[in-house]
Structure 1
Amino acid sequence: MSMKYAQRLCQRLSQLALVVGFSLAPTNIGLAQSSNNNTVSYTQFLNALKAGEVRSVELYQEQGLAKFRRKNQPEQSPPQEVRLFDRNPELVELLRQVSSRYDTTVRVVASGNESAVVGLVSNLMLGFLLLIVFLMILQRVSNAPGGPGQILNFGKSRARFQMEAQTGVTFGDVAGIEEAKEELQEVVTFLKNSEKFTSIGARIPKGVLLIGPPGTGKTLLAKAIAGEAGVPFFSISGSEFVEMFVGVGASRVRDLFRKAKENAPCLVFIDEIDAVGRQRGAGIGGGNDEREQTLNQLLTEMDGFEGNTGIIVIAATNRPDVLDAALLRPGRFDRQITVDLPSYKGRLQILQVHARNKKIAPEVSLEAIARRTPGFSGAELANLLNEAAILTARRRKPAITNAEIDDAIDRVTIGMTLTPLLDSKKKWLIAYHEVGHALLMTLLKHADPLNKVTIIPRSGGVGGFAQQIFDEERVDSGLYTRAWLLDEITILLGGRAAEVEIFGDAEVTVGASSDLRAVANLAREMVTRYGMSDLGHLALETTGNEVFLGRDLMPRAEYSEAVAVQIDHQVREIVMHCYEIARKLIREHRVAIDKLVELLLEKETIDGDEFRALVRQYTTLPVKDPPWKATATPVSFRQDAERS
């Protein structure tokens, strides 16, 4: 028992003793108080006896007390009392004489046995109450987490177990990841009909590792496998193996696989396996000994001297780069399934699943929403429809409309709408800044077209933003051309270029800080990773040198100082070239910019079609329309933190 519980026990026992002691003490105290009301001295008592004034006497020898009544005393009045000495033979002789001479009644009252019984019963009750309190406190301490009663259970597995997995999820509830579902269907078939594979000598994978970004549905897939197979299902998180006591994690692994063998064939699902499966012996001063012991035991159980026939381990992680190589080899996790972000068809299927229980207006097109959201995961799409439903209920509408979908996309990607700015210098600065971005999106040949531009502020310090319609195929494939990258850098610099051209260098604000960070990163990647500069087709920097357990503390220099100077020079050349193009276009279209700013200040939001129509009136350059204009909708966003 810990010191804290022992102190609390002593405190409660002392309080209980005081309460019981006071409740048992009032007999003698009441007797003493009552005896002080009608008490006479011993001498007065003797004189009354000798004078024949006493009618009756009661002697309480155990208490050393005598009670007597005088002959002239009323019957309803209480008797008088007198304290006796321990030895008083003269009193006994006097009482014998008085009783015969004056007809005085003398009676001896024996009360000693009754008081002894009462004292014994009181002590037994006190001991019984103390014993009950002690047992209750001991039981509470034993059941507490980490208490004495839990010591023997440290090594027990904490996996949730279901004999018949009723997860409520099947493959019909999983959409957008058809390739992963097809591969995992083999696992379900093996669990239901293993003879189909074993009859021709095939061996089902012992482990399946689900890899993918957060929110893509890895845990949902595991629940669907359990729901489809209908076999015993163990689920546990990787962090639940590791405790502060060395050896507990390994013991839990042994206990988990022992239970799994007793219920084979079955599924074992380990979520976030990177918490226990990190690379061993890496990092500063080595690794975590408890985690390494747990990992060693897991490796042995999955593919040791004893086979685990009928046990299929499914694990999920979004950080496969930190996992130990021994864990990924065939025989342990034989199959690695990538659960990637969904494509257009996948997003449409996910939206159809999450739209089942929502009231959506007939004019809302799920196909249009799917085109607007490349790069969204399944969890983000579910959150998008939920935010739209919340906005619909707040606005007291019967069904979700396109307005709620638009606001929900902006709220999820950019932030919550704040109160519009009042007419001030800050509002003019933000308007020119955002129109600078929007104009370059409209005029540059290889840029993605504009969807809308707004100066309504958002949470997180976003004063306004210009939103593009990114090409879905380019986003999904990740193939970006050099011309597109240069135009993207030019667009990012459009806000700063507009501030300089309109207000001058002295009035430049910090609103372009996020733009400049993006420009620096993009230009440096063009030089050091993509080979898009005069330095040649060289990859001078590689990714994966982060500082964490399993990686180097200091990244190794991959080029000399002279090459570093050339890299900086090339990055500066790219940035300055794009900046000059941005300033030139803004300078040449100053009239159009002024008109657009006036319109933006009046309406606070301009959509892409209206913006392009106005630009065509003031330029001879071709204005870029969306190639899929019939179904054109915004699929991404750009945000600029405007701070005065």
Structure 2
Amino acid sequence: MAEELISPIRQGAHDIAVERERMRRRRVYRLAAVILLAEAWVITAALLDRPVLPRLPAMDPFLVTIVIFFAAMLLIVVLTTVGTSRSPHLVYRPEQVDVRLDDVIGIDPVKEDVRRSIDLFQTHRRFADQMGGTPRRGLLFEGLPGTGKTLTAKAMAAEAGVPFLFVSATSFQSMYYGATARKIRAYFRALRTTARREGGAIGFIEEIDAIALRRGGMLGAAPSGVPSAASACVSSSSGPLPGLRGTTTNAVISEGTGGVVNELLVQMQSFDEPTGLDKLVNRMIAAVNLLLPGHKQLKQRRPGRAPILLIAATNRADSLDPALLRPGRFDRHLTFSAPDAHGRRALVDHFLARRSHEVSLDDPVLRDRIAAATNGWTPVMVEHLLDEALVNALRRGSTTMSFHDVEQARITEMVGIGQPVRYTEAEQRLIATHEAGHATVAWLVAPNRTLEVLTIIRRGDALGLLAHNDCEEVWTHSQYDLQALVQIAMGGWVAEELFYGHTSTGPASDLAAATRTAAQMVGAAGMTGSLVSFLAVDRDLVSAVLADHASREQLEGVLDEARSSVRRLLSRNRHLVEALRDALLERHELIGPEITDVLERAQSMAEVRAARPVLAQAVAGRIGTSPAA
């Protein structure tokens, strides 16, 4: 039965098109009737020698002025009242929307469900009448900003061929008491009217959490998500760092939201509300039925099913009122996540097809590198990256972007714009040593990570930094991965201690990042012996671990072990730190392969120097003399 229902859709025959054609013909017939009546009146007036329009009676101009004044005052009052209760939505006709589902890239996991929702919307009458199902009335799009929620909703309206009523939830809010509820009623009234007039309509409420927060009487603890290790990390000499922390979600208490949420709940159950004509006819039938016996009662009109699909978008779905999330209101929840490597590659192809670029960027290998380097980026971020690359190309006097322009734009987006700072010679050498320690440890202990940027140029709050990322897209991290992150964070601290005999204030943010990662190992992932998870309590993970004496000792053990391991590692590889330090002092910034080239060259030279005494001894042994001779 489902295949029989879907197959006509593929051929273009669906309930929405039939309904729209029926409504179009009805409007044509009504217009023709009005024109015929007007023409009959003109002909009758001509035959009877009467004026087509009645003549206005003579009136005193002073009286007319007074009437106009009071009418204007009354009109102002009425318009003020109506204006505060008017629906703030915008209507887009299908032909005004220039995007289709094929243009929405990077949402492959949800695109099939979106297409299925369109199919059900287009065959809502057959799905209900022939199959006995209840059509979907509401879809909730949740996900990070810039993942394509609004674009997908517009594409759905264009694919379905119905008007798209867009409204921002904040536009419902008003300074007048009760006006917010009136605006919500006006919006749903417009949605029903448009659906009946056009054969269907899709409504979209942007950022619905602005008017649908959890009511105070229905509070509940939302489940806390398990934080995962960050795949992209930054080790800096100064300033705050992104790191690992336990996340908890508190229920939102907002006074005055109860009435607004209640109105929204009622309206979402009122899609099939009778029209004004139906109400009048039913009222008349009810009056007649009062005079009739029970077995002769007249049947009242049933409200027609309005073909409406309401879509709402939010990035705070856990704060919405639970009554909104039940079936019958928002029947389907679709999560828009950041695209994976295949989705990002498709996005790169899609955006580059519309932007001027050099022929070299048509190389699949370079496009794969761009997709791999933007792990965790949303479609909007990828598009913005290529726009910034065009800006870089324009600055150097070209009209086509190159791969170097894309890389420069990515580095700027990732670590910020470089700020010129005049360091003292000693301070510059200290910062270079610190960052070289981070990079050396990362190269030695984490071969599965890509070294992206090593700089002593100030960016944001960081006087210098190392940016590194996973070589491949991964969703989980092992105990070794987290230990490596702790060791990389310790690299700068240990390098300062080895080369200067003391440390500065630079490693403060590194120690904070190492503490957060170690707290993840101790208090959430069960990697240090204890299986107790502090994510089970509604509290910050790091604070919970530090407050527990046994867990704090385990945390200290992880950090001490990492520091000892890094100290042994850098003591054996001082030449690598020195090589990177000297390269940073000379060039101030190393990008990607430039970092590994310095390290590999230094390692090769060290191996050659170590091999010379062995070679000399071997030669001396063959000729029967000592190495000194």
TM-score of the two chains, using structure 1 as the length reference: 0.67
Q: Which residue of 2 aligns with 1:494?
A: 491
Q: 1:612 aligns with which of 568, 589, 599?
A: 599
2: distance between equivalents of 1:386 and 1:157? 36
Amino acid at match of 1:169: V
CA distance in 1 between counterparts of 2:342 and 2:498 reads 44
Secondary structure in 2 matching 1:363: helix
The aligned residue for residue 538 of structure 1 is 532
Farther off after superposition, 367-376 or 413-422: 413-422
1:426 aligns with 2:427: yes
Q: Secondary structure at the match of 1:235?
A: strand
RMSD in angstroms over aligned alpha carbons?
A: 3.2
**Alignment partner, residue 114 of structure 2:** 184
Q: 2 CA distance for matches of 1:511 and 1:371?
A: 31
The 8 Å contact of residues 393 and 401 in structure 2, kept in 1 or not, is answered as yes
* Cross-structure match for 1:300: 266
- Give the aligned partner of residue 223 of structure 2: none
Task: Give the C-alpha shift of residue 526 in structure 1.
Answer: 1.3
Asked if the contact 2:166–2:204 (Cα under 8 Å) also holds between the matched residues in 1, the reply is: yes
Letter of the aligned partner of 1:467 in structure 2?
A
Maintained 8 Å contact 2:124/2:307: no
- SS for the counterpart of 2:418 is coil
| Aligned equivalents of 1:521, 1:339: Cα separation in 2 | 28
| Number of matched pairs | 468
Q: Name the CA shift for 1:445/1:525 in 2 (closer, same or farther; >3 Å).
A: closer
In structure 2, what is the equivalent of residue 472 of structure 1? 472
From the superposition, tell whether residues 368 and 447 of structure 1 become closer, same or farther in structure 2 (CA, over 3 Å). Answer: closer
| Contact 1:523–1:575 (CA under 8 A) maintained in structure 2 | yes
Q: How much does 1:481 deviate?
A: 0.4
Task: Tell me if 1:353 matches 2:347.
Answer: no
* Paired residues of 1:589 and 1:619 also in contact (CA < 8 A): no
* Structure 1 unmatched ranges of 5 or more: 1-127, 547-554, 621-644
Residues 498 and 431 of structure 1: CA distance in aligned 2, closer, same or farther (over 3 Å): same
Query: Could you say what secondary structure the match of 1:462 adopts?
Result: coil
Preserved CA contact (<8 Å) 1:452 1:468: yes
- CA distance 1:306–1:194, change in 2 (3 Å): closer
Work out whether 1:313 is the aligned partner of 2:307: no
Query: Displacement of 1:609 after TM fit?
Result: 3.2
Match of 1:260 in 2: 191
Q: Out of 266, 269, 277, which is 2:204 matched to?
A: 269
In 1: Cα distance, 2:94 partner to 2:509 partner: 52
For residue 153 of structure 1, report the CA deviation from its aligned partner. 2.7
* Structure 2 counterpart of 1:519, from 511, 514, 526: 514
Secondary structure of the residue aligned to 1:236 is: strand
- In the alignment, the residues of structure 1 paired with residue 506 and residue 481 of structure 2 have an alpha-carbon distance, to the nearest angstrom, of 24
What is the deviation of 1:277?
A: 1.0
Distance 2:126 2:351 in 1: 35
Q: Which runs of 5+ in 2 are unaligned?
A: 1-61, 220-249, 274-304, 608-629
Corresponding residue number in structure 1 for 2:91: 161
Higher relative contact order (CA 8 A, sep 6+): 2
Post-superposition Cα deviations, 1:311-341, rounded to whole Å, max 9, x if no partner, equal: 1110000011101111101111110001000
Aligned match of 2:103: 173
1:267, 1:217 → 2: CA distance? 17
Q: 1:454 maps to which residue?
A: 455
Partner of 1:221: 152
Distance 2:432 2:552 in 1: 33
- The 10-residue stretch of structure 1 (460-469 or 480-489) with the greater mean CA deviation from structure 2: 460-469
Q: Pick from 320, 326, 329: which aligns with 1:329?
A: 326
Q: Cα distance, 1:573 vs. partner?
A: 0.9
Post-superposition shift, 1:246?
2.9
Give 1:422 deviation, angstroms: 6.1
- 1:426 offset after TM fit, Å? 1.8
Taking a change above 3 Å as real, the CA distance of residues 558 and 600 of structure 1, as seen in their structure-2 partners, is closer
Q: TM-score, normalised by structure 2?
A: 0.69
CA distance in 1, matches of 2:419, 2:143: 35
Aligned-residue offset at 1:445? 5.2
Inter-partner Cα distance in structure 2 for 1:574 and 1:211? 37
Distance of aligned partners of 1:584 and 1:230 in 2 relative to their CA distance in 1, 3 Å threshold: same
SS at match of 1:249: helix
1:115-126 to structure 2, matched below 5 A, reads none
CA deviation after TM superposition for structure 1 residue 532, in Å: 1.3
The 10-residue stretch of structure 1 (237-246 or 486-495) with the greater mean CA deviation from structure 2: 237-246
SS of 1:336 mapped into structure 2: strand
What displacement does 1:207 show? Answer: 0.5
2:551 is aligned with 1:567: yes
1:447: Cα distance to partner?
Answer: 5.3
Match for 1:592: what amino acid?
A: L
Q: Distance in 1 between matches of 2:578 and 2:69?
A: 84
Q: Which residue does 1:281 correspond to in 2?
A: 216
- The residue number in structure 2 matching 1:249 is 180
Contact residue 165 and residue 226 of structure 1 kept, 8 A = no
State whether structure 2 residue 336 is matched by structure 1 residue 339: yes
Checking the alignment, whether the CA contact within 8 Å between 1:170 and 1:227 is kept in structure 2 is yes
What percent identity do the matched residue pairs reach? 29
**Residue 489 of structure 1: how far off its partner (Å):** 0.4
- How far off is 1:196 after superposition? 5.5
Runs of 4+ in 1 over 6 A off after TM superposition: 283-286
C-alpha contact (below 8 Å) 2:87/2:184 kept by paired residues: yes
Q: Distance in 1 between matches of 2:538 and 2:90?
A: 35
Quote the Cα distance in structure 1 between the aligned partners of 2:451 and 2:509. Answer: 19
Task: Please say if residues 241 and 294 of structure 1, whose CA atoms lie closer than 8 Å, have aligned partners that are also in contact.
Answer: no
Q: What does residue 630 of structure 1 align with?
A: none
- Quote the residue 1:394 is aligned against: 395
* 1:358 partner SS: coil
